[in-house]
Structure 1
Amino acid sequence: MSFGSPIALLGLLIVPVLIVLMVVAERRRRAQQARFGSPALVAASTPPARRIRRLLPLALALVALSALIVGVARPRAKVPVPGKQATVILAIDTSRSMVATDVKPSRLAAAVSAAHAFLDEAPKTYSIGIVSFSTRASLVLAPTTDRQAAKTSLDMITLGSGTALGDAIDRSVAAARPTQPGRPTPQASKIPATIVFLSDGEQTTGERQPLAAAAHAKQLGIPVNTIALGTRDAVVDVPRANGVVEKVTVVPDSKTLQQIAKVTGGRFAAAPTAERLKQIYKDLGNRVGRKKEEREVTAAFAGAGVVLMLLASGLSLGWSRRPL
């Protein structure tokens, strides 16, 4: 935190002086009471609750005064604000396990529906790209501000078989940071980029390991927000040789997804239900693409100081029928 008028902070020196005066006054009060009665009588006449009622308003007033002095110093802090532009890549697992119905009506249908909700919440100036991944990771839609094109692309997603987590992260990074002769284009590298990565299983195929791909995303400053979809007891039918159908339990690899988010500076969330998944996407739609900018926060300190001072005065009037 920085200050536009740091010299005003010298006013905070008055706070410890007032605290010392309060302590001295309290000790004098007790000494005077002790002169006119036994220690037991004095303790009975000034129970802890009464002392708290006398001292709490004063303590709140001191905190309020400190906040007001800091406000006068014109504090500045870095706060997250929505960027005018951002690139968001929605990476959606389309492996066979996405047919599981533990998330109604199915994992894939719930994921597509929640992604639609994300498109409605994200700022219209943000470019949204879509990557689907199963055995391979494919760019379904290059980043665009055309929301109708994004919704149409989501509805055209189809199921595959395996799960290539690492390749999907690499493909999403490439979509967020298009390159020219091996390096990011100057314009794209200046625009904040984020990946929203949804999966319901562990890596079963692919050339790239998930954490290695996450480390590459971190180097480029691209956070990967991960979502683990589904519950631990979902079962899907997997066809085998000779017409045999095997029932396989499909469990989200929450541990790997948590590590991916941690490495890249993103956030992890578990979505055991369609309602929870939709809420996660809505929250991300409001949060992604934000960047930290230094803003003056004088109003926050001044407002807090006024509220605390009013509270202190109200408590003092209510408890002792006198202002501070």
Structure 2
Amino acid sequence: MRYTNLDVLASVAASTRSWRRHAGLALFLLALATLLVGFARPSMNRWADREEATIVLVIDVSGSMQAKDVKPTRLAAAQNVVRDFLEKLPKRFQVGVVSFSETAEVAAPASSDRQLAIDAIDYLYPQRGTAIGDGLARGVEVARAAEAGRTGRERPAAILLLSDGSQTEGVLLPQEGAARAKSFKIPVYTVALGTPEGVVEFNNFGGTRIIPVPPDPATLKQIATTTGGRFYEAESVGDLREAYERLGSLVSKVERKQEVTYAFLAGGLVLLLAAAAIGVLTFPRLP
């Protein structure tokens, strides 16, 4: 093939060399920037499976848990969902159960024996009053007891509080219980169960007495905010199941920093090699 217009050919060659020269310089500068970032030892956050944790389930068993606005009853729905939640938790997690009505009781100490916790959930039944503050304080005690005598790194702990009403009994106010959890850096994740239309019916001297039992989301939300947890509302079984699925993800994962220095250094070296290759093509050595 012959080129009759050498000026055009020369201009094309010059343009190609100019493009390569600028591309090589750009790659070189980018390589330097990438290497500088790498030398600064950058890191990124990633979610990893938590190896160990102590989870304390604090469950309301007041009389209002007999309400049927969440089928079949609030308490029965909670038992079914919590049972499924327990079966999906990592086996190495310690789980304790606290129930509260007018007082707070330890239904199961923190243990890796999952069946012990499931049996405790199955044996819960509606009683009277609502002592949220005392329930939280007892939950903190269970979490702390799980660490007693333990050597090595402390297991992280969390409280999962499920309630359907306002405080009516107890020694500690809800915020006092929350303050106690906060002092030990134990987040409290709260679930408000029930609808504003929820009622319970009692036989009263041959008649039926209907008592409204709406949940108290404001108090439960404040507890979660105070302790660094999260708040969920559940007006149906579906809502409750979704809330505990999210809680399962939260307590089973931990956010960790991972250094990515090598990725930046490797990227910088690749860019340097590319810049060098373009330089060789742009300015070939004379024979």
Measured against the shorter chain, the TM-score band is 0.7 to 0.9
Among candidates 44, 55, 63, match of residue 96 of structure 1: 63
Match of 1:296 in 2: 259
Shift of 1:70: 4.8
Residue 288 of structure 1 aligns to a residue in which SS? Answer: helix
Q: Compared with structure 1, are the counterparts of its residues 239 and 264 closer, same or farther at alpha carbon in structure 2 (3 Å cutoff)? A: farther
Match of 1:227 in 2: 191
Is the Cα contact below 8 Å between 2:56 and 2:142 reproduced in 1?
yes
Q: Does 1:247 align with 2:213?
A: no
Shift of 1:217: 0.6
Greater helix proportion = 1
Q: Does 1:282 align with 2:245?
A: yes
Match of 2:170 in 1: 206
- Distance in 2, matches of 1:72 and 1:102, equals 60
Number of corresponding residues: 236
Match of 2:94 in 1: 127
Compare CA radii of gyration and give the structure with the larger one: 2
- Distance in 1, matches of 2:102 and 2:203, equals 16
User: After the TM superposition, which residues 135-174 of structure 1 pair with which residues of structure 2 at under 5 Å, given as runs?
Assistant: 135-174=102-141
- Distance in 2, matches of 1:194 and 1:88, equals 5
Unaligned runs of at least 5 residues, structure 1: 1-64, 306-324
Match of 1:117 in 2: 84
Shift of 1:249: 1.0
Match of 1:32 in 2: none
Q: Which amino acid aligns with 1:232?
A: P
Match of 1:197 in 2: 161
- Distance in 2, matches of 1:232 and 1:299, equals 56
Match of 1:39 in 2: none
| TM-score calculated relative to the size of structure 1 | 0.66
Once the two structures are aligned, what percentage of the paired residues are identical? 43
Residue 124 of structure 1 aligns to a residue in which SS? Answer: coil
- Distance in 1, matches of 2:38 and 2:264, equals 5
Shift of 1:289: 5.2
Q: Which amino acid aligns with 1:294?
A: K
Q: Which moved more, 1:163-172 or 1:65-74?
A: 65-74
Shift of 1:229: 0.4
| TM-score calculated relative to the size of structure 2 | 0.74
Residue 177 of structure 1 aligns to a residue in which SS? Answer: helix
Q: Compared with structure 1, are the counterparts of its residues 69 and 171 closer, same or farther at alpha carbon in structure 2 (3 Å cutoff)? A: same
Unaligned runs of at least 5 residues, structure 2: 1-31, 268-287
Q: Compared with structure 1, are the counterparts of its residues 203 and 123 closer, same or farther at alpha carbon in structure 2 (3 Å cutoff)? A: same
* Offset from partner CA, 1:133-169 (integer Å, 9 cap, x none): 1111111111111122222221111111110000000
Shift of 1:296: 2.0
Residue 190 of structure 1 aligns to a residue in which SS? Answer: coil
- Distance in 2, matches of 1:67 and 1:208, equals 56
